Amino acid sequence: MTPALIRGRTLSFNRAPQSIDDSAAYAYESDGALLIENGLIKAAGTYTAVKAAAPEGVEEIDHRPHLIVPGLIDTHLHFPQMQVLASYAANLLEWLNTYTFPEECRFVETAHAERIAGHFFDEMARHGTTTATAYCSVHKASADAFFAESLRRGTCMVAGKVMMDRNAPQGLLDTPETSYDETRAVIANWHGKGRNHVAITPRFAITSTPEQMEVARSLLSEFPHLHVQTHLSENRDEIAYTCELFPEAQDYTDVYARYDLLGRKSLFGHCIHLSEREADAMSESGSVAVFCPTSNLFLGSGLFPLRVLTRREKPVRVSVATDIGGGTSYSMLKTLDEAYKILQLQGERLNPFETFYMMTRGNAEALSLTDRIGTLEPGTDADLTVLNMAATPPMALRAEVVNSLADELFLLQTMGDDRAVAETYVGGRPAKSPLDAIQAD
């Protein structure tokens, strides 16, 4: 791949911003550039400095006046739920049983899984998301289709074959034995291939027997460097049912703790209704609570207590995610817009530097992947998102009176969606513009 120099305004975080004035938390260049070579960021800084370091005659791509940020990261979604999004249900368990489980049954067909995987990666690119942590379906073929497409596109993805052996339709059940064998096969076939990461993925305690939870424990002890993903404390009825199914556990979090599934690479979707004891257990183990704003509002699950979790004496690590298809938008911008509103309802503020940190470096930290993604640091993978704050007529009108970076970020987050994504780069290659070309044909 020949080197390229990508020019624009650039923004990258070195840590979490403590306030809206905390300019030491990020590097911003009003005329910045990135030198890209072999899928990596070779140099970053002012255009003048990077140009001076670039080879003679390097190809230049000029995105001015747009803003270049590290590729957006989504830490929880379900790729087999692209056709579940916008299903009319009163609550989580009704939504799962009425729409989601029947839809996921269709992924037994390899051709269907492959077709939806293609659409999934298209939508990620269109929305500026370069890394996602995804649930596949229970069918091994769904994970194969997902990882094959990821390899083809060169994306950094974390995903797993869902393990579930009870409380769902027959077509969506594995067994402790098959979940072990198939997860092992998915790890052998895909983990470390290209930029793929395999996650151990017991769906949630309601759909796994104690025997299958034991299997999850065994897999993690065999592969301790893998991510784990599951759901925790999303809905009051879900919590009550889980406690009935595992009467020996102190609480919902303790169900997972009893199978040694807590840890720094464990991601727990939702965590809305944790007790103090559970939050302590999450904190002490370094586990991550994944905030899914549009899903929590859509399913009426509750208001994620972000500040309560992060400001407590034993803080809980958090990340943010769309949770497609309980979530209602693929856009991380829209997701953080809803996150902002959830904090407003709790009398808290979420400043735009913090939201952009969360979508980029913050989510990379939650995945323990900052050495590869989430920043514009030289040596990391060249996954980039180019944002246009004047992408639609109402945005352009509002943008006329924007006169600070904070205002620009807040405008992008509040009014932006896929239309604000001017380009997405995956490993240094444009991933959105080829799609635009196809659609224009």
In b/e form, how buried is each residue of 357-372, taking b as 16+ CB within 10 angstroms? bbbbbbbbbbbebbeb
Which stretch, 118-126, 233-241, 266-274, 313-321, contacts Zn ion (CB under 5 A)? 266-274
| Of the residues 140, 231, 317, 361, which one makes contact with ligand GUN according to CB under 6 A | 231
Cα 171–Cα 99–Cα 290 angle in degrees, nearest 5? 95
| Of the residues 204, 246, 291, 298, which one makes contact with ligand GUN according to CB under 6 A | 204
Taking the complex as a whole, the smallest distance from the CB of residue 234 to Zn ion amounts, in Å, to 8
Which stretch, 58-66, 208-216, 263-271, 414-422, contacts Zn ion (CB under 5 A)? 263-271
Site size toward ligand GUN (CB under 6 A) is 11
Pattern 67-106, ligand GUN, x by CB under 6 A? -----------x-------------x---x---x------
Which stretch, 50-58, 104-112, 126-134, 265-273, contacts Zn ion (CB under 5 A)? 265-273
Residue with tokens 């003048």: 48
The residue (of 12 and 331) whose beta carbon lies closer to ligand GUN is 331
Cα 58–Cα 62–Cα 67 angle in degrees, nearest 5? 130
Taking the complex as a whole, the smallest distance from the CB of residue 135 to Zn ion amounts, in Å, to 6
By beta-carbon distance, which residue lies closest to ligand GUN? 326
Residue 355: CB atoms within 10 A of its CB come to 25
Q: Of 9, 155, 122, nearest to 433 (Cα)?
A: 122
Taking the complex as a whole, the smallest distance from the CB of residue 24 to Zn ion amounts, in Å, to 35
Q: How far apart are CA 369 and CA 363, in angstroms?
A: 9
Q: How far apart are CA 308 and CA 273, in angstroms?
A: 11
Cα 11–Cα 40–Cα 317 angle in degrees, nearest 5? 55
| Of the residues 122, 144, 182, 234, which one makes contact with ligand GUN according to CB under 6 A | 234
Helix (H, G, I), strand (E, B) or coil at 49: helix
Amino acid of residue 164:
M
Taking the complex as a whole, the smallest distance from the CB of residue 148 to ligand GUN amounts, in Å, to 23
Taking the complex as a whole, the smallest distance from the CB of residue 231 to ligand GUN amounts, in Å, to 4
Pattern 244-263, ligand GUN, x by CB under 6 A? --------------------
Pattern 364-403, ligand GUN, x by CB under 6 A? ----------------------------------------
Cα 415–Cα 430–Cα 187 angle in degrees, nearest 5? 100
The residue (of 70 and 325) whose beta carbon lies closer to Zn ion is 325
Amino acid of residue 60:
E
| Of the residues 176, 293, 326, 352, which one makes contact with ligand GUN according to CB under 6 A | 326
Does the footprint of ligand GUN cover residue 363 (CB under 6 A)?
A: no
Angstrom distances, CA of residue 272 to CA of 276, 288, 424: 12, 13, 32
| Of the residues 174, 323, 337, 365, which one makes contact with ligand GUN according to CB under 6 A | 323
Q: How far apart are CA 370 and CA 387, in angstroms?
A: 21
Residue 70's binding partner, choosing from ligand GUN, Zn ion, none, with beta-carbon cut-off 5 to 8 A by kind?
none
Which stretch, 298-306, 317-325, 368-376, 411-419, contacts Zn ion (CB under 5 A)? 317-325
Tokens of 401: 């009176």
The residue (of 87 and 110) whose beta carbon lies closer to ligand GUN is 87
Residue 5's binding partner, choosing from Zn ion, ligand GUN, none, with beta-carbon cut-off 5 to 8 A by kind?
none
Q: Respond yes or no on whether the N-terminal peptide bond of residue 65 is cis (omega within 30° of 0).
A: yes
The residue (of 127 and 203) whose beta carbon lies closer to ligand GUN is 203
Residue 84's binding partner, choosing from Zn ion, ligand GUN, none, with beta-carbon cut-off 5 to 8 A by kind?
none
75's enclosing H/E stretch is strand 72-78
Angstrom distances, CA of residue 107 to CA of 162, 384, 416: 12, 31, 32
Q: Of 425, 378, 427, nearest to 34 (Cα)?
A: 378
Taking the complex as a whole, the smallest distance from the CB of residue 112 to ligand GUN amounts, in Å, to 18
What single string gives the DSSP state of each residue in 107-153? GGSHHHHHHHHHHHHHHHHHTTEEEEEEE--SSHHHHHHHHHHHHHH
Q: Of 31, 37, 66, nearest to 54 (Cα)?
A: 37
Tokens of 131: 């890394």
Residue 160's binding partner, choosing from Zn ion, ligand GUN, none, with beta-carbon cut-off 5 to 8 A by kind?
none
Does the footprint of Zn ion cover residue 269 (CB under 5 A)?
A: yes
Contact residues for ligand GUN (CB under 6 A)? 78, 92, 96, 100, 203-204, 231, 234, 295, 323, 326
Contact residues for Zn ion (CB under 5 A)? 269, 323
